[in-house]
Amino acid sequence: MLAFAAILVAGFCGGVIGYAFADLQCDGDCSVQRGLGALIGALIGAIGVAVVATLALRAMGEWRVVQHRDEE
């Protein structure tokens, strides 16, 4: 549950950063550019945190297997 929540928060933060970055680069009516910036930023943030969360969960699972073997 915490990993999923972290992915959602990272996606939101990436979207805000992407929106702000696109907003800084453009003058006038740039709704498409801002939307694309927000989408790309959200995807990059969510995918990055998803990779880290997956690796952490796998490492925790392997650690439990090793501990279980040592107890027997």
Contacts of 40 by beta carbon, 8 Å cutoff, 6+ apart:
18
Q: Is 33 domain-assigned?
A: yes
Task: Give residue 72's pLDDT band: very low, low, confident or very high (50, 70, 90).
Answer: low
Domain count within the chain: 1
Contacts of 72 by beta carbon, 8 Å cutoff, 6+ apart:
none
Q: Is 72 domain-assigned?
A: no
pLDDT tens digit string along 31-45? 999 999 999 999 999
- Indicate yes or no: pTM above 0.85: no
Q: Is 51 domain-assigned?
A: yes
> What pLDDT sits at residue 7?
95
Q: Is 26 domain-assigned?
A: yes
Mean pLDDT, range 44-66, rounded to an integer: 93
CA dihedral 42→46→3→59, nearest 10 degrees, is -160
- Domain range holding 29? 2-67
Q: Is 57 domain-assigned?
A: yes
Q: Is 53 domain-assigned?
A: yes
